[in-house]
Amino acid sequence: MSIKGVDITVLGGGIAGLSAATALAQRGAVVTVLEQATALGEVGAGLQIGPNGVAVLEALGLRDAAAAVANVPEAVELRDMATGREVARLPMGQAAVRRWGRPYWQFHRADLLAVLADGARVAGVDIRLGHKVDTVKDISASVIIAADGVRSAVRAEVFNGQPASFTGQVAWRGTIPMENLPVGAVKNVATVYMGPGRHLVTYPMRGGSVVNFVAVEERDAWADEGWNIPDTPENLRRAFASGGRDVQTILNAVEETFLWGLFNHPYLPHWTKDNIALIGDACHPMLPYLAQGAVMALEDAWVLARELDRAGVADGLLAYERIRKPRATRVQKAAASNATAYHLSSGPARLVAHTGLKAISRLAPSALLGRFDWLYGEDVTKPDV
Ligand SMILES: Cc1cc2nc3c(=O)[nH]c(=O)nc-3n(C[C@H](O)[C@H](O)[C@H](O)COP(=O)(O)OP(=O)(O)OC[C@H]3O[C@@H](n4cnc5c(N)ncnc54)[C@H](O)[C@@H]3O)c2cc1C
């Protein structure tokens, strides 16, 4: 079996769509990507790509191009939001390479998309920007890959996707030029400031010239789900007024921010139907607390292309779903449970959890890293996975 010469249309030019298009074209498929936006990656935001995602970038032949625009953090630090004190520290950098075989990377989303788009074009993919698809009935390709994101129209049209429910959590995201911050305010680590009902994640990107932030708050007021919904920095600062000096210093430098409502999407019974497959956020949207949504999209892309090539269209689509569903579902669940861990209210539960983490972090850092072996240690590009 082979997908050489098979015409495939990919709907959506995000991480899922571009990586799938590249993987398919590299195996000889004739691939077109239809993307509604007129430019790729317009929104300034960061993406952390764990070693399991780096494995896919490497297998796509994009390791060097991606490394050139990646930031390599020294660690992930969990800190108390009010005091700024360290609760736990996971060494990354070389420690990640030693443990999981590959580094932990951080990107500006536009940079990673540019690397993937270049890779796709080199593989022969036809990327058509400014091309919105209203119904899959308009597409005549042999295979249709719907990589149209968290608000996937194909999920609703073909897979009977049920409405999502607001989680009661919103995320502000944005970037800050490092030069607008006091020296040393943001180190070369991913920092999670944890407070009751809220947390703030910061990390540097683009050679340390820009800081990415994601600030999550539990609240009743609803917000929409999407990349382009602006909010005022004052609202963000008000929500985090209980944060300590470090948090205030960072948020005072915010000049522009976007608000993203976080939604629970019912698990889909199926990801494939006839000649159509969903990938990425279109089939398994997840809360951002494990930084794995885009990484799962990369894993999907690799497995989908490999299985179509190995088993042909009909069996390949079924094999893709069978292989990917259990892992993506596990990651969705793990991401959701991190919200509880980060947002514990003051009181005994918080004290016990933070003290326990601190002890493990100091006494047995490898035990803490070991909790992520199932996630970061997986390499879907190995022949037997
Ligand atoms: C606050 C926050 C922080 C996050 N941080 C991380 C992180 O650190 N690491 C990580 O791995 N993940 C992270 N994620 C998740 C990650 O952003 C998503 O999982 C990832 O972007 C999904 O990629 P995708 O290609 O499936 O969807 P998208 O990136 O949404 O791409 C979908 C594409 O389809 C296009 N499209 C949609 N409809 C149509 C149509 N009808 N016709 C044509 N084109 C269409 C859209 O314009 C878009 O370009 C985070 C998410 C959030 C909300």
Q: Which atom of ligand 1 is nearest to the CA of 216?
A: 1
CA dihedral 265, 200, 55, 118 (to 10 degrees): 90
Q: Which atom of ligand 1 is nearest to the CA of 292?
A: 11
Handedness of CA 293, 80, 236, 185 (dihedral sign): negative
Active-site residue 342, yes or no?
no
297 lines ligand 1 (CB under 6 A): yes
Which residues belong to CATH 3.50.50.60 in the chain? Answer: 7-69+108-163+267-376
147 lines ligand 1 (CB under 6 A): yes
Structure tokens at 104: 């932990």
Report pLDDT for 350. 64
* Residue 185 CB coordination number (10 Å): 17
35 lines ligand 1 (CB under 6 A): yes
Instruction: Compute the distance between CA of residue 306 and CA of residue 327 in angstroms, rounded to an integer.
Output: 17
CATH fold, domain 165-264, is D-Amino Acid Oxidase; Chain A, domain 2 (3.30.9)
Per-residue model confidence as pLDDT tens digits over 332-358: 999 988 777 776 666 656 666 666 667
Question: What are the CA-CA distances from residue 172 to residues 55, 189, 198, 308 (Å)?
Answer: 29, 20, 11, 38
Report pLDDT for 43. 67
Q: Hunting for tokens 């009935």 — which residue is that?
A: 137
- Mean pLDDT, the chain, as a whole number? 92
Which residues belong to CATH 3.30.9.30 in the chain? Answer: 165-264
Whole-prediction pTM: 0.95
Helices 51-59 and 293-342, axial angle in degrees (round to 10):
180
Atom 52 (ligand 1) nearest CA: 288
Q: Which atom of ligand 1 is nearest to the CA of 132?
A: 42
Chain Cα centroid distance, residue 134 = 25
Kindly name the residue from 104, 193, 203, 289 that is annotated as catalytic.
203
pLDDT band per the 50, 70, 90 thresholds, residue 160? confident
Helix (H, G, I), strand (E, B) or coil at 108: strand
Instruction: Compute the distance between CA of residue 100 and CA of residue 176 in angstroms, rounded to an integer.
Output: 31
- Burial code (b: 16+ CB inside 10 Å, e: under 16) for 53-65 equals bbbbbbbbebbeb
Per-residue model confidence as pLDDT tens digits over 261-303: 999 888 899 999 999 999 999 999 999 989 999 999 999 999 9
Domain 7-69+108-163+267-376 sits in CATH at 3.50.50.60
Per-residue model confidence as pLDDT tens digits over 184-221: 999 999 999 999 999 999 999 999 999 999 999 998 87
